Amino acid sequence: MNVYKYSISNFALSNEQRDFYETNGFLLVQKLVPDYLLDRCNERFLDLCNGKICQNGITLMKDISRMNRGYKGENLYGKAQDILWDDEFYEYARYPKMIDIIESIIGRNVMAMHSMFINKQPDIGTKSSRHPSHQDLHYFPFRPPNLIVASWTAVVPVTKDNGCLYIFPGSHTGKLFPHSYPNPKEGEINKMYYGIQNKEINNQKSIFVEMNKGDTLFFHPLLVHGSGINITQDFRKAISVHYASSDCQYINVAGSTQENIQDEIMDILAKRGIKDVDFSFVWKIRSRLIRGTKANL
């Protein structure tokens, strides 16, 4: 009998899919999310970028290289973050077939913790469209890692040329590595795009995950991954949510390799006049229960 460490049940996974996730730390499910739902999310993103609807708690992030250069709308904004309270994006975050798979991995109490619509624009020669290799756990002050999983769905076909994800299969069995901003000589880098600078890790075997619209990649928060430069003239779009079991616990990241991201986020809050809160506050206000009951998060 198999001993499962990285998944909870076979509820919506075949034995083969479950074994694959256990060994590799990711699972690709083709055509999981219907086109109509993704088209509505894309329309919503365009309306947000063009100022047609109010932001409803969503943060729009500009691509660093496109700021102050006259770009507007989807030519300017590279990401919409914290999208869980918008009706259209929420339809993605709660999409039942997807949550069934999430439940199979992390169990019944499913909290959406981190959410975004990503618009990787054509690179304008500064390499800002790349996302360096990283582990998502670097951003999260909650544990255990095995009760956290990401969904990442292609909103348009994603290819090596437009900057699909690349992943390091099996890296979820390792530890959390130190993350920092890449050397500026390597190109411009967007805010919060921390990366693993260790060449030994980056030189290990990775694979490109080319996907069609609606295909969804599920992955463990320790899986090392990133995405390349968009060398096409089209927008590469994706929608992604990180889910955690509400049975996870917040941890104190002071003195750990995660202290740099905590400091950066707390500085941003302080500049907005939000003081005397701890890092877990940030996660409590942006998370939303999707299925089951709320426990610790």
Ligand X SMILES: O=C(O)CCC(=O)C(=O)O
Residues that bind ligand X (CB under 6 A): 118, 120, 131, 136, 225, 227, 238
Return d(Cα 133, Cα 86) in angstroms, integer: 29
User: Please, which residue, 12 or 137, has the CB nearer to ligand X?
Assistant: 137
Residue 235 CB, nearest approach to ligand X (Å): 12
Q: Minimum Å distance from CB 11 to ligand X?
A: 26
Please, which residue, 131 or 172, has the CB nearer to ligand X? 131
In the bound state with ligand X, the residue whose beta carbon lies nearer, of 118 and 222, is 118
* Closest to ligand X by CB, 148 or 238: 238
Residue 240 vs 245, nearer CB to ligand X: 240
Whether 21 and 101 have beta carbons less than 8 Å apart is answered as no
| Least distance (Å) between residue 243 CB and ligand X | 14
Q: Which amino acid is at 241?
A: V
Choose between 12 and 214: whose C-beta lies nearer to ligand X: 214
Closest approach of ligand X to the CB of residue 133, in Å: 9
The residues near 169 (Cβ < 8 Å, ≥ 6 apart) are 24, 25, 26, 205, 207
The greatest distance separating any two alpha carbons of the chain, rounded to the nearest whole angstrom, comes to: 60
Rounded to whole angstroms, the Cα distance separating 73 from 275 reads: 32
Q: What DSSP character marks residue 195?
A: B
DSSP codes joined into one string, 122-185: PP-SS-TT-EEEE-GGGG--EE-GGGEEEEEEESS-B-TTTT-EEE-TTGGGS-PPP-BPPPGG
Rounded to the nearest 10°, the torsion over CA 203, 206, 212, 213 is -70
Least distance to ligand X from the beta carbon of 239, Å? 9
- Cα gap 121→184, rounded to integer Å: 20
Please tell me the distance from the alpha carbon of residue 109 to that of residue 170, in angstroms, as a whole number: 26
Q: How far is the CB of 225 from ligand X (least distance, A)?
A: 6
Nearest distance from C-beta of residue 50 to ligand X, angstroms: 22
- By Cβ distance, which residue is nearest to ligand X? 227
Closer CB to ligand X, residue 78 or residue 107?
78
Positive or negative torsion for Cα 274, 276, 280, 281: negative
Using the 8-state DSSP alphabet, how is residue 50 labeled? T
Task: Using the minimum distance from each CB to ligand X, give the nearer residue, 12 or 221.
Answer: 221
Cβ of residue 251: shortest distance to ligand X, in angstroms? 20
